Structure 1
């Protein structure tokens, strides 16, 4: 499976490339940082699958989708996003996206889901909803908190230790630590206690 990754954050492109490098059936053949660049590369490389960020500097993924389909009609497009309640998500799914995954998907899950898409399945992360929304999702979106960051803060708020959180969420301890640190940064907190207090003030808990 030849994959084109479209994301304006190089760390995401590099991360996906690293995750699939251990497989023998998936290869990242290119990466683009804008929708226009993605359209050019899709026409040139003719990938089997395009992992497309929902929010790009020049347009939304839902707007880029038909342009990519026009130059690479056989490519399957999967939306790859950190935002689970963006209005463009519904538009992208209605517009022919073959699936949508949240960026905090684990490496094993990512490879498995890409293989499912390649086999013809339409894959949508179960945490996503194609329509409607909840106050919680709206608050997470406003704070740029991913669902995983929220889950870590939520468990920390009820007294779970990092090892306990790791076990409950199926993550490594280092990953839990990283999620907690990024959540603290987004919440403007200096430590774990402040993060929980800020989450409560934002009505996340």
Structure 2
């Protein structure tokens, strides 16, 4: 990768597939961005680029890469395969580009003590993924025909979508008068069948009919 390519990436600003970091401080937090990129559409993490897109570089960039490599290796499960490019700005300063794939092994999780947490990209932010997003990501690894029965709860769901255009898990469970786990299972199955589309949000996901 060339310096011009780095500047072109940076000029577009942060977004769904790109994240900037001045340096690899708090790598345990930066790996969340890596996980989110891998779980969504893939993309690039640039170390040595300011939030405003200025390619200022970082001294001893190899040390920054070492820190991030270690964090990715130790904190992400399952293991994530990625590429790293180093672009020199001067003898002492450089930029690191971590090219993250749209991983076939998604969802990837951050290992935190006794729990694991997945992240996804929403616009230019990385947010915690809901259990429904986890399930959709798992099912998307091996695409196959999904069979579902059309009963009362599905009828309630379609009526609600016809009236308001979108629905949350909580709203569906209440309208259909079914347990949350059953509402979740139904929505995930319909997303996997390409009937619905899930829209991840920072607060609560919502679902719409697939266009």
Larger-Rg structure:
2
Q: Give TM-score, length-normalised by structure 1.
A: 0.27
Q: Which has the higher strand share?
A: 2
Q: Which has the higher helix share?
A: 1
